[in-house]
Amino acid sequence: TVEHEDDAVEIAREIGYPVILKASAGGGSKVGRMTTSGAVTEFPIPSYFSEPFGITSGPDGNLWFTESDADKVGRITTSGTITEFAVTGGSGPWGIVAGPDGAMWFTERVGDNIGRIEVGGTFETMPYSPPKPHRIYRRLAFGRTVDLIVMDQRQYRKDQPCDDAVAPPCAD
């Protein structure tokens, strides 16, 4: 978490440019662009409190991101024009990646589904099989063989109570 713009500039210098920022604190709902000189330009997302997440480049030359709390996938052009595409209500889209088929693929935090959206906005969802209880699929990637790899990034501690909606169910 970056608390101040000056901190973001320092981090960007350490990790290298280009840098895309996601602002969500205080309602945020902005996508930011930072230049090598540290100048930041913010682009407000039309849906307020959308909880932008997972930003990546798309096959159309634009950047694509998910809006988890608004149940949308967003696209931002290099000039800063944002277009939002509604996806399944209540799904909480999260991780997003460009697929080898020219579409964008994303995870849904709710419902054990994977979504696919074409650059024109047509989308579909498909169940991730086999569904596993107490899982949140956050990231996905395509492997060398074009297999879709879905990563469940939940981490369970051994001392965490079972069946607390985060940890696996209790053993009988």
The answer to whether 142 touches 100, Cβ cutoff 8 Å, is: yes
Buried b (16+ CB within 10 A) or exposed e, 80-109: eebebbebbeebbbbbbbbbeeebbbbbbb
How far is the C-alpha of 154 from the C-alpha of 138, rounded, in Å? 9
Q: Which amino acid, residue 130?
A: P
The answer to whether 75 touches 92, Cβ cutoff 8 Å, is: no
How far is the C-alpha of 107 from the C-alpha of 136, rounded, in Å? 9
Which residues lie closer than 8 Å to 110 by C-beta, 6 or more apart? 90, 91, 92
Active site annotation includes 4: no
Q: Which of 134, 135, 138, 139 is catalytic?
A: 134
The answer to whether 158 touches 166, Cβ cutoff 8 Å, is: no
Question: What is the set of active-site residues?
Answer: 134
